[in-house]
Amino acid sequence: MAARTFGDYDHRQEQAAQLDYVLALADRYGIKVLLVLINHGQFSTNVDAQWADNPYNAANGGFLNEPHEFFTHPQAIDLFQRRLRYIVARWGHHPSILAWELWNEVNLTTGYAGEPVARWHETMSEFLRSIDPYGHLITTSFSNAQLEPSVWRLPHIDFTMTHFYNVSDMAATLLSLDGMKRAAYGMPTFSAEFGVSLDKARFDREGVFLHNGLWAGLFSPGAATPMSWWWNNYLEPNGLFHHFGSLTRFLDHTVSPVFLAEPVQVRARDGGQGNVLISTTLGWGGLPDETDFILHPDGTATVPLEVAAYIMGSVYNTHLRRAPLRFHLEGEAPARFGVLVEDVAGSGAVLQIRIDGQNVLTQSLSRGSFAPGTLIAVDVPEGARLIEVDNTGLDWLRISGYVLEGLASQSRAFGVQGAGDVVVWVQDRNHTYAGVVSGYEPTPIEDARLRFDDITAGWYDVLWWDTWKGVPIREERIYLEPGTWLDVPPFLRDVAARLRLVSPPPERS
């Protein structure tokens, strides 16, 4: 594409026709499309780099010397607005288009700076709103969950999105990130990319991370289930689309839009032991406000909304160093405490774990000396009250999560309620992506019970659902009130339920 062809789309009509076809299919089958208008690679020299082939590049006869000039150069702004006019005119009429995504992971462009990028988004979102007669939603995306407040608060940005990868516990991370975004900006949000990197996906052929993320999406503050990037090279080759089918069939049995429901307080108990897994959520440069975790007597945890994946050492990148992570134990101590180590800087790192002020582990780590996802664990004595994690080496250490073994029951539950329905997902808390990688083999849980603390008293028609086969297990009518327990049928890995309040509730016999 030569520079002289700016604004002339004749040479791209074959590709445009392909998008015509895709959107027509989406219209026919009722599939909503989040249409990305520009991706970071086109203006990046190091991440999915395409700058060398970009016609805007002065080396190719264009008028930009550096990628970041795209956000401020008057001619570039004018040309992109012309492009927006063409896109709206050609494809805006398709009912399948849910929203325009101005950028995909804009922070990965070379020379990224928040202020000019925010101004660019303000200009383009206002212009796009003015020319789109169909009033589509407008959004954008970043690869870092902390970015970019100045963009998300713009008047013509309609919802926020989060991308996250390589976390140990998809369900817990999703609820945390969606909750953080919803609380911070007061607008709809959802995770538009999630999963593990493709090289790690080979450890999870059954799609545990996909399954857990989709089902957790029903119970997060997000407006939709999270979306996987790896549809063509992971979902399709491994036959994993059935996970979407099971979830869809279950939703057919609910009367209200589950995504608009409110959380319900539900707790799971059983005779087994489970691990509390705390996943990291912030990538490189992420600076959490809090580094203290509280483990409560009932096995639940109060975790900061943002957990850094990188623990910086004492010599390099010290501007990103934070206080040691502190795990406060209010109840019974876990049997063991572990750190899931993913990577280390070339200069090496030293993992240090202290219990009640006493050093119990100091381990030097070098690149290539361990496999990604290695669990480094220590025994925890009875009565322990404080666990601290630090890196006393030269450079960074990347962590995917922290594991507290034997602290809680084997099952955990998530729930929402709305318009007469209560929907619950009960999961073996050990059956996570980290569990799969470490060789965890799930066994049936036969004695799980649920307690609802804020449910409306009355008789409920309860439908239990096999989330993996996508079929009902059984139906029953049960009387429930706050504080009562509901027996869960035996299950392997996880199970879901829809509780429908009978209206009016019959007299209790």
pLDDT of residue 145: 83
Using alpha carbons, select from 301, 334, 294 the residue that is nearest to residue 412: 301
Residue 326: beta bridge partners?
292, 388
CA distance 428 to 421: 23
Residue 281 has pLDDT above 80, yes or no: no
Give pLDDT tens digits for 394-431.
999 999 889 888 777 889 999 988 777 899 999 998 89
How high does pLDDT run on average in the chain? 90
Residue 506 has pLDDT above 60, yes or no: no
What's the distance, Cα to Cα, between the start and end of the chain in Å? 78
| Chain length of the chain | 509
Q: Rounded mean pLDDT of 32-39?
A: 97
Contact 359, 424 (CB under 8 A): no
Please enumerate in sequence order all residues whose Cβ is within 8 A of that of 21, keeping only pairs 6 or more positions apart, or say none: none
Q: Rounded mean pLDDT of 282-304?
A: 74
48, 57, 381, 420 from 44: Cα distances, Å: 7, 11, 50, 50
CA distance 383 to 331: 9
pLDDT of residue 3: 44
Of 219 and 167, more confident: 219
Q: Rounded mean pLDDT of 12-32?
A: 96
Residue 509 has pLDDT above 60, yes or no: no
Residues of the chain above pLDDT 90, percent: 62
323, 385, 424, 473, 500 from 421: Cα distances, Å: 44, 40, 10, 18, 5
Using alpha carbons, select from 266, 76, 281 the residue that is nearest to residue 168: 281
Across 380-448, where does the E strand assignment appear? Answer: 386-391, 397-408, 411-418, 421-428
pLDDT of residue 260: 52
Reported confidence tier of residue 1, pLDDT bands at 50, 70, 90: very low
pLDDT of residue 2: 40
Give pLDDT tens digits for 199-233.
777 888 999 999 999 999 988 888 889 999 888 88
Per-residue b or e along 306-317, where b marks 16 or more CB atoms closer than 10 Å to that residue's CB: bbbbbbbbeebe
pLDDT of residue 200: 75
Residue 257 has pLDDT above 80, yes or no: no
Residue 4 has pLDDT above 70, yes or no: no
Residue 159 has pLDDT above 60, yes or no: yes
Residue 242 has pLDDT above 90, yes or no: yes
Reported confidence tier of residue 473, pLDDT bands at 50, 70, 90: very high
Residue 256 has pLDDT above 70, yes or no: no
pLDDT of residue 255: 65
pLDDT of residue 5: 67
pLDDT of residue 451: 94
Please enumerate in sequence order all residues whose Cβ is within 8 A of that of 301, keeping only pairs 6 or more positions apart, or say none: 276, 278, 293, 294, 295
Residues of the chain above pLDDT 70, percent: 95
Contact 459, 478 (CB under 8 A): yes
pLDDT of residue 508: 57
Contact 136, 72 (CB under 8 A): no
pLDDT of residue 431: 92
Domains of the chain, CATH where assigned: 263-270+410-501 (2.60.40.1180), 274-408 (2.60.120.260)
Radius of gyration in angstroms for the set of CA atoms belonging to the chain, rounded to a whole number: 25
Residue 283 has pLDDT above 50, yes or no: yes
Give pLDDT tens digits for 75-122.
999 999 999 999 999 999 999 999 999 999 999 999 999 999 999 999
Q: Rounded mean pLDDT of 485-509?
A: 85
Residue 8 has pLDDT above 90, yes or no: no
Q: Rounded mean pLDDT of 47-71?
A: 96
